Structure 1
Amino acid sequence: MMKRTVLTTLALGMLLTGGPLTPVRSVFADAMLADFDYPHEVGTFEFTSQGQKMAMAYMDIPPSGAGNGGTVVLLHGKNFCGATWESVIQPLTLAGYRVVVPDQVGFCKSTKPAAYQFGLHQLAANTHALLEQAGVRDPIVMGHSMGGMLAMRYALMYPNQTSALVLVNPIGLEDWKAKGVPVTTVDQLYQGELKTNAEGIKRYQLNTYYAGEWRSDYDRWVEMLAGMYKGDDGDLVAWNQALTSDMVFMQPVVHELQNIQVPTLLMIGERDNTAIGKDRAPEDVAARLGNYKELARETANRIPGARLVTFPNLGHSPQVQAPEEFNAALLENLGQVSARE
């Protein structure tokens, strides 16, 4: 039976914004998001990886009308799911694209293994296998947050099978460890993940994803994430989150940006301040991390021929925070990113 818990963020909201926020009700409590509706039908890709049977959930949405022959693959971030792309899917299908949206192993509606060697290269290989099974050739790979790191790795691994790359506030644009963030163990990360609750999620998202301004429609994404931790297998969710936190910290892609060979579009909310491990870094180090206004330009200069679009007033999740503005910019610039002949 689904657990129903009410977690109050009223005091937190007053502290952060000077006024009350609507409390978040964690009405979902299932590690596989069985009770959380996705915007389109969810299929399952079954495969074997590292000697284990795996299942990747994914949405596969056809284009409206005849279509333009292109496919966009949307890769979610670490604190996100495929469903978080819901405001982007329809504009893409209306523009004629087929859209494929997977949940990666370890996340959301996909398998959460008790033991798995997580790597960006492994997740890229899993995604490639899914796309081959689905008959997708030469997709536009679009990733947000951790999904941006994964999209870059995918393009580096499969340059001749990627028609374009779209990066939405990707993490991994700086090497946090090299900049002074202390290394920690998976066990320590796991203990921290076990403390995850709706209040903490909302506090983090308010200041990082939405530039200090909260709307009630964001509550659904807090419910989604918090609900996985509240389910009977919440400890397994926490363990997978710890393993993937270690993955993104230890596998920066920033040192390989110049090797990306596919046409690239960068879409950056400049009020983002995401930096993995910033909370455990010395104060002087933390102050220098997550400066996306600078990171965006540095990254665009290093990726050959990259096109940069910025949103000065938006945070880490511009596609959620301002979907109309974001989608208009996406469609305008996507058409100008040269596709592979």
Structure 2
Amino acid sequence: MTWLRLAASFILLVIVLGGATWGLDTWRARQAEADYPPNGIFVDVGGQRVHMVVMGDQGPDLVLIHGASGSARDLTFALAPELAKRYRVFVPDRPGFGWSDPLPADHDTIFDQAKLLQQATLKAGARDPIVLGHSYGGSVAIAWAVTLPDTLSGLVPVSAPSQKWNSPLPLLYQITSPPLGQAIAVPLISAWTPPAIVNHEVAAVFAPQEMPKGYAQWFGPSMTLRVQTMRVNARQRADLEGEISQMIPEYPKLDLPVLSVHGDADTIVGEKIHAFPFTRQVPGAELISLPGVGHMTPQIATDAVVEAVDRVAARAKLLKDTQQNASDESTSGQMKLR
């Protein structure tokens, strides 16, 4: 009967661990949501609720799309307040992040997200906006331009994946993206990962620069650690390369102002792998290459990103010459235009 007692003990341990994990997941999610409540508006698109922050009351319309593991808070830390001085800025939480509802798992591609965000920002008042996306959000922005070309005035991919790459999926996503990992690994990671490890990982994304003071407190990584958000994030990241490969043949057909911004020290989304070929593939596209800058360009090189938006706005004839000249003077000598 020893084996029966062992089996019973194992089952009891699984039940206790499962219950503790569920309880801790629930508590941490509620605490995160209490600490970081909605700070924008909600827009309903066919029953899909999209949360977004809207800043600025004059100027051309501009949409900012955040990256993986993020939320609108990422781009409202430094970039959106600067741009809001001369643009109407719409910063949505991508579906499944922040306070936006997730899309169904089988309709959550970068193309589905682009369609939803276009409809949501239009409903919020954005008309033919310039669309800027950072990191994964840059891929969504490119998907917007590829699939809905008549609904935007310009495109600014920032540290954005745009090509296939020759490296395996990071171990975390190898574990958390398959169905078994979604069911077991995600709740365990969400419940038991110490905050110190989470903060260390957030800081590491800024390498070789240091994370700006106050960023982690503003950004709220605990919101990304929620079970639902981790599941969405893992699935999206695992599917990204295949979705990008579908877009590449369409790049030569893009006919709008395009200016990419990329740090040449970015080890997460390599400039030579992504930004260089993208600039060649898109007619008339340009690239601002930032020496020594890593992946978190909107926070580390905010002025350069603002400059890119101004240049695209000028090419689209949306910005007054006086505003463009002021931007040129503020960022002169900080970048290399290719």
TM-score by length of 1: 0.71
The one-letter code sitting in structure 2 at the alignment partner of 1:311 is L
Alpha-carbon deviations, 1:246-298, whole Å to 9, x = none? 33233114443323222101011221122xxxxxxxxxxxxxxx432453222
Runs of 4+ in 1 over 6 A off after TM superposition: none
Using the TM superposition, give the Cα deviation of residue 32 of structure 1 relative to its aligned residue in structure 2, in angstroms: 7.4
Paired residue type of 1:260: L
- Of residues 44, 47, 55, the one that matches 1:46 is 44
In the alignment, the residues of structure 1 paired with residue 274 and residue 34 of structure 2 have an alpha-carbon distance, to the nearest angstrom, of: 37
Structure 2: state its 5+ residue gaps: 1-26, 319-338
> How well do the aligned residues superpose, as a CA RMSD in angstroms?
3.0
In structure 1, what is the Cα distance between the partners aligned to 2:103 and 2:144? 22
Name the larger-Rg structure. Answer: 2
What is the match of residue 244 of structure 1? 236
Report the counterpart of residue 305 of structure 1 in structure 2.
Answer: 284
1:219 to 216, 229, 235: 216
**Structure 1 residues 248 and 294, CA, compared in 2 at 3 Å: closer, same or farther?**
closer
Superposed, 1:70-219 pairs within 5 Å as: 70-86=60-76, 87-95=78-86, 97-112=87-102, 115-171=105-161, 173-176=162-165, 179=166, 181=168, 186-187=178-179, 190=182, 193-194=186-187, 195=189, 197=193, 198-211=195-208, 213-219=210-216
From 301, 315, 325, give the equivalent of 1:337.
Answer: 315
Give CA-to-partner distance per residue, 1:187-223, whole Å, 9 cap, x none: 265355442644454444444433253443332266x
Query: Which residue is 1:273 aligned to?
Result: 267
Tell me, yes or no, if the aligned pair for 1:73 and 1:101 is still in contact at 8 Å. Answer: yes
Structure 2 contact 43–124 (Cα < 8 Å) conserved: no
Q: Helix, strand or coil: the match of 1:251? A: helix
Partner AA of 2:68 in structure 1:
K
Structure-2 change in CA distance of 1:44 and 1:257 (3 Å): same
Structure 1 runs not aligned, ≥5 long: 1-26, 275-289
- What fraction of aligned residue pairs are identical, expressed as a percent? 21
SS of the residue aligned with 2:49? strand
CA drift at 1:135:
3.3
Structure 2 Cα separation of the partners of residues 158 and 312 of structure 1: 33
Distance 1:135 1:329, change over 3 A: closer
TM-score between the two structures when normalised by the length of structure 2: 0.72
